Homo-oligomer: A and B are copies of this chain.
């Protein structure tokens, strides 16, 4: 395998561990816990894993530990640092007992169900230390939620003598990890299940979890690119760059990137929803900033757009809901068939409510066409195919033309478009993510050795130097409540959206008028692994603000 110079140099990095995990530990247990909502229902659903205490590891007496076999699964989308969770867990179980074994299930939870796995060795692990990606064993989106899957899983776990399973995933995967933990506990199968908080979107965080891993590296990679674009923008002084950023349901990435780069505009979906803004209002908001800058002679700028924006605009959400409905035949529940695209468009436009039709007609022709035509296999509008960045810039251009006629805008408007997602999901982890992930994995081995199940591996106080980080575990049930999903009440970990009352948004809101008018761009540059600590070891601005740093 040919490697870049950086791959080779970075492999030698020894991730930092919390002081508490450097020697023998003992689990200091807190009081019994409760779920964040729907306590009675959650308790009833998780009789064996509900109410357990929060755990913190402190220095303990060294003692002989038996060899233990552990399995690990990567679940869902890639996030930088996954390989370090695995290498941390590997080193963790080996320090417990050198005869311990770590198995990886291939291509996500499906590997457990289908009995596809590998055993890790020193050489194998060493190839992947401090690297990005999930290619070490692959990931997948199979959801572990059925008894048949759990039963199929226990077969291979027994065959391999695996006593504990670590599942690395987002809110859904960790919810399922808990369901699995509960099932195996109820059946007395003797297999512990531990979760690890992952998602570049940053929407798995709460009182117990400071941040999900990968968010730091992904945001820094996007911010590097946004900074480069801003420098170009500020040099050429002739384009408005509309930059869409990954993150379907929460705008944490857009907000963090705005805090790092100080763009002229950053839209926050949660605010747009709360204010019930119309698409026209969003367009006017941007157009007014463009006009204001043009009045100062600055016909250039940057606009950050969260990927999920369109679904947070109430009028569009309503339109999409009706579009999803109208193309389904209520008699059969199947998608309606049409002889031609034109016939389909005619059917749609003559069958939706007047207010929705008005919204549809306000959209650029190609977006309107796409909404009427393109459907996923379930007959739903393919929201992810909407190029929101182009939609917005086209509508802003139209609005500016109107404003020009009214004498409210004098300037030139020319737009460039970007969408960043895959560019950052598999970047090599920053020092923060490399250390955090390694610690999460190492810590998981200590939760296993302490006999815990239904816990999430948790590392706190990460705005301090790594030695001062606090390691422990939190019962997954503690983070749950009941939500309606696909027409059913389900126990889930509450997704963390951007808090409009939180410090990161409030700081942004206090600055954005200045950033809009001035050209106050910051250029973060690429992630550095070897330089001075103030360059290499910073956490996200979001986390620093949340922690009052």
Using a CB–CB distance below 8 Å, which chain A residues touch chain B?
Answer: 1-7, 9-10, 77-78, 107, 131-135, 138-139, 221, 224-225, 227-229, 231-237, 241, 260, 262, 416, 418, 422-428, 520, 522-532, 534-535, 538
Interchain nearest-CB distance for A56 vs B (Å) = 31
Extra A-B contacts (18), CB below 8 Å, given A3-B522, A133-B232, A228-B422:
A4-B522, A4-B523, A4-B525, A5-B532, A5-B535, A7-B523, A9-B532, A78-B236, A131-B231, A132-B231, A135-B231, A138-B236, A228-B425, A418-B422, A427-B525, A427-B526, A526-B528, A530-B530
Question: How far, in whole Å, are A241 and B227 apart by their CA atoms in the complex?
Answer: 24
| Residues in chain B near residue A224, CB distance under 8 A | 526
Given A236-B139, A523-B428, A530-B531: A229 and B5 interface contact (C-beta under 8 Å):
no
A528 touches B525 (CB 8 A): no
B232 touches A9 (CB 8 A): no
A135 touches B422 (CB 8 A): no
**Nearest residue, chain B, Cβ from A519:** B135
| Residues in chain B near residue A235, CB distance under 8 A | 78, 133-135, 138-139, 426
Interchain nearest-CB distance for A204 vs B (Å) = 19
Question: How far, in whole Å, are A16 and B126 apart by their CA atoms in the complex?
Answer: 35
A107 touches B221 (CB 8 A): no
| Residues in chain B near residue A532, CB distance under 8 A | 5, 9, 530
Given A2-B262, A235-B78, A523-B4: A228 and B530 interface contact (C-beta under 8 Å):
no
Interchain nearest-CB distance for A63 vs B (Å) = 38
| Residues in chain B near residue A237, CB distance under 8 A | 107, 138
Interchain nearest-CB distance for A177 vs B (Å) = 20
Question: How far, in whole Å, are A4 and B525 apart by their CA atoms in the complex?
Answer: 8
B529 touches A531 (CB 8 A): yes
**Nearest residue, chain B, Cβ from A525:** B6
Question: How far, in whole Å, are A225 and B231 apart by their CA atoms in the complex?
Answer: 18
Interchain nearest-CB distance for A32 vs B (Å) = 39
Q: Which of B6, B234, B262 contacts A535 (CB 8 A)?
A: B6
B522 touches A2 (CB 8 A): yes
Question: Which 9 residue pairs are nearest across A and B when measured between Cβ atoms?
Answer: A526-B526, A530-B531, A133-B231, A231-B426, A6-B525, A134-B235, A232-B426, A4-B524, A135-B235
**Nearest residue, chain B, Cβ from A137:** B235
Interchain nearest-CB distance for A195 vs B (Å) = 20
| Residues in chain B near residue A523, CB distance under 8 A | 3-4, 6-7, 131-133, 428
